[in-house]
Amino acid sequence: MKLAILLLLSVFTFAASTEVIGSPEAIESPEAIERTEAIKGAEVVAFSDESLRPRYQQLLQELRCPKCQNQNLADSNSPISQDLRREIQRMLEEQMTDKQIKDYLKSRYSEFILYRPEVNKNTWLLWGSPVLVVLLGLLILLRHNRKPEPSAENEVPTASNEVPTAIRGAGATDKEAPTNSSDQQRLAELLGDKENQQ
């Protein structure tokens, strides 16, 4: 079963990876590549006021690179991320608030760019699911703990319950050992019943 799931998953992954072919190219103008080469990943950002830096870092953590979708702007070194970092720096220098900056980017790149999405009609389930799962867990736990209480359904005697009693009753005392044929027959029936049950 595990193997089957793994196989199934690998098929999904393969199918998903082929999707990428034919997608639009990443933005990599020669100019941008040159710039990247020159800096070699070490981007020096100068702020007029050092108190802007923590906010800058925080925003880069929370905003997603539109092209390289599993990286945020801090991690990604794609040209589009470099441009957006520059834009964010500019907006911080212009005394825009974090919310204004996020709204600015959201209006252009859609909600997709927010790694911490707002709560709205599309995302309430996403935000609410941890709470729902915890509630579900509590519910299951409560039901589980109550189980030992005898309930009518569990106490209904079944054929398989009766048979061992009959055998025990038959074999326990020699005095009452079945001797006549009708008893023998009954025992055979009961044993046969038991075998059928199994």
Partner 1 sequence: MNRLALFIPLALFFGLSLVLLLGLDKDPTELPSALVGEAFPPFNLPSLKDEQNVVTEQDFNGEVVLVNVWATWCFACRIEHPMLNKLSEQGVKIIGLNYKDQRAGALAWLVERGDPYQFNIFDAKGRLGIDLGVYGAPETYLVDADGIIRYRRVGVVDDRVWESEFRAIYEQITGTEQ
The distance of closest approach from Cβ of residue 153 to partner 1 in the complex, given in angstroms and rounded to an integer, is 9
Measured between alpha carbons, how far is 144 from 137 in angstroms, rounded to an integer? 10
Chain positions 152 to 171 lying near partner 1, rule: CB under 8 A, are none
Q: Which of 69, 95, 173, 198 binds partner 1 (CB under 8 A)?
A: 69
Binding mask 70-109 for partner 1 (x = CB under 8 A): ---------xx--xx--x------------------xxxx
Q: Which two tokens stand for residue 94?
A: 């212009």
The distance of closest approach from Cβ of residue 22 to partner 1 in the complex, given in angstroms and rounded to an integer, is 7
Q: Which two tokens stand for residue 33?
A: 């590549």
Nearer to partner 1 (CB atom), residue 106 or residue 194: 106
The distance of closest approach from Cβ of residue 165 to partner 1 in the complex, given in angstroms and rounded to an integer, is 24
Stretch that binds partner 1, among 28-36, 44-52, 160-168, 189-197 (CB under 8 A): 28-36
The per-residue DSSP string of 51-85 comes to THHHHHHHHHHHBB-SSSTTSBTTT--SHHHHHHH
Measured between alpha carbons, how far is 100 from 96 in angstroms, rounded to an integer? 6
Measured between alpha carbons, how far is 19 from 8 in angstroms, rounded to an integer? 17
Quick one: DSSP state of residue 171?
H
The distance of closest approach from Cβ of residue 24 to partner 1 in the complex, given in angstroms and rounded to an integer, is 3
Q: What angle do CA 136, 138, 144 make, to 5 degrees?
A: 105
Is residue 30 within the footprint of partner 1 (CB under 8 A)?
yes
Is residue 63 within the footprint of partner 1 (CB under 8 A)?
no
Q: Which two tokens stand for residue 34?
A: 């040159």
Stretch that binds partner 1, among 10-18, 44-52, 158-166, 176-184 (CB under 8 A): 10-18
Quick one: DSSP state of residue 147?
T
Q: What angle do CA 11, 71, 49 make, to 5 degrees?
A: 175
Is residue 38 within the footprint of partner 1 (CB under 8 A)?
no
* Contacting residues toward partner 1, per CB under 8 A: 8, 12, 15-16, 19-20, 22-32, 66-67, 69, 79-80, 83-84, 87, 106-112
